[in-house]
Amino acid sequence: MECITIKRATAMDAEALTALVQESRAYRGQYATIIAGYRVTPAYIERHRVFAAVGTAGRLVGFYSLVLDPAELDLAFVSDEAQGTGVGRQLMEHMLDQAQRAGLTGVRVVSNPPAERFYLRMGAERVGTVAPTPPNVTWERPELRFAMDGQRVTGA
């Protein structure tokens, strides 16, 4: 497993974060419309808690964005090459630590349907379903919640 450092993203990371979103295999096919034209902007990075996972030679391997009000994991991406290597788990552990430090009691996640199992393994609980919002989102999405009750990320 590659050594990963998680650092606060800066406005200068916006282009690389956007590229990671746009290149994601998870959003091809029926899910492509949700990220069509999506950009992670410098203003977005400055407004929210965006953290990047950086591997060898400064290579971006993932990132997440925690919105504090209302408390929500807004974005979470791991590069296709780093899928299954533990980067996602490290990002979720970091996100939960940041949420606890910010005094949050829970963090909402509206998940891409194929990612729901990952969040459940990380300790989130399914709390509902979010209705489609055409034209970009034409499918129901799982709504999950991480509770800040002292538990850490569990599962494999």
- pLDDT tens column, 13-37: 999 999 999 999 988 888 888 898 8
Are the beta carbons of 109 and 73 closer than 8 angstroms? Answer: yes
Q: Tell whether pTM > 0.75.
A: yes
Residue 133, in any domain of the structure = yes
- pLDDT tens column, 120-140: 999 999 999 999 999 889 999
Residue 154, in any domain of the structure = no
Facing residues of 144 across strands? 109, 126
Q: What is the CATH number of the domain that holds 114?
A: 3.40.630.30
What pLDDT is attached to residue 150? 55
Given a cut of 70, the residues of the chain with pLDDT beneath it are: 1, 150-156
Residue 108, in any domain of the structure = yes
Find the largest Cα–Cα distance for the chain: 41
Residue 123, in any domain of the structure = yes
Residue 36, in any domain of the structure = yes
13 DSSP 8-state letter: G
Residue 39, in any domain of the structure = yes
Task: Specify the pairing of strand 71-78 against strand 106-110.
Answer: parallel
Residue 130, in any domain of the structure = yes
Look up the domain containing 115 and give its range: 5-147
Residue 155, in any domain of the structure = no
> Which structure tokens are listed for 101?
């430090």
Distance CA 5, CA 125 (A): 27
Q: How many domains does the chain have?
A: 1
